[in-house]
Amino acid sequence: MHTVELLPDEETDEVVREAWAALAAAGAPSQAGHPHPTNRPHLTLFTLPALPSGLRLVLGDALSAALPLPLRISGPHVFAGRTSTLAWLVAADPALVELRVRLQRLAEEVLGPGSREHRARRPEDWRPHVTLGRSRRPAAWSTPGSVGFQVLPDPPKAGLWTRARTYDSASRTTKRLAP
């Protein structure tokens, strides 16, 4: 699978990394413990089964024209499931949602119908977020009053999505899309 991701400005990146470090220092699961060199704060727009070079160029052009975009974090949230994820929710600003829909349409034009990810096909089902920690065991941030929530710094008030990349889960590599 391939992801299409937005990357935040340097100041927002630093605040997210501070949150990762605070969670790790408190003994909570944190993205700080994920040592792979591709690990960095990001927002996944969607996933694709393939990303041929022609589509990469089309998506890159659309992203370059759209970025930078406003970035607003609305606060912490726990996604429950087989893997519990602590994240900062990202406000689904109209420009961000419109960009996601436009990019998905471009991908479908190249790859064909049904090429989009199976989750969150409809814009209203998408929960944009920046992951802070993930765990398959009960985590220190399983409830809003728990230690994980208490050690989190305040999320950034405002920032920008400034760049875009892709991540290839098979090769575990990233490539810049824009600008």
Per-residue pLDDT, 78 = 86
Q: What's 73-139 look like in SS3?
A: EEEEEEECCCCEEEEEEECCCHHHHHHHHHHHHHHHHHHCCCCCCCCCCCHHHCCCEEEEEEECCCC
Give the whole-angstrom CA distance, residue 149 versus residue 81. 19
Omega before 68 cis (within 30°)?
yes
162's enclosing H/E stretch is strand 159-168
Q: Identify the burial level of 44 via C-beta atoms within 10 angstroms of its C-beta, where 0-12 means exposed, 13-18 middle and 19 or more buried.
A: middle
Residue 118 confidence (pLDDT): 42
Domain with residue 142: its CATH number is 3.90.1140.10
| Structure token pair of residue 84 | 């519990």
pLDDT of 118-166, one tens digit each?
Answer: 444 566 678 999 999 988 776 656 666 666 677 888 888 889 999 999 9
* Cβ contact 93:69 at 8 Å: yes
**pLDDT score, position 82:** 81
* Tokens coding 100: 């996601």
- Which positions of the chain have pLDDT values less than 50? 118-120
Summarised one tens digit per residue, pLDDT across range 152-162 is: 888 888 899 99
* Distance separating alpha carbons of residues 145 and 42, to the nearest angstrom: 26
- In terms of residue numbers, what domain contains 160? 2-178
pTM score, two decimals? 0.87
pLDDT at 114: 62
CA distances for 40 relative to 10, 44, 79, angstroms: 11, 12, 19
Number of domains in the chain: 1
Q: Which residue's entry shows tokens 């728990």?
A: 146
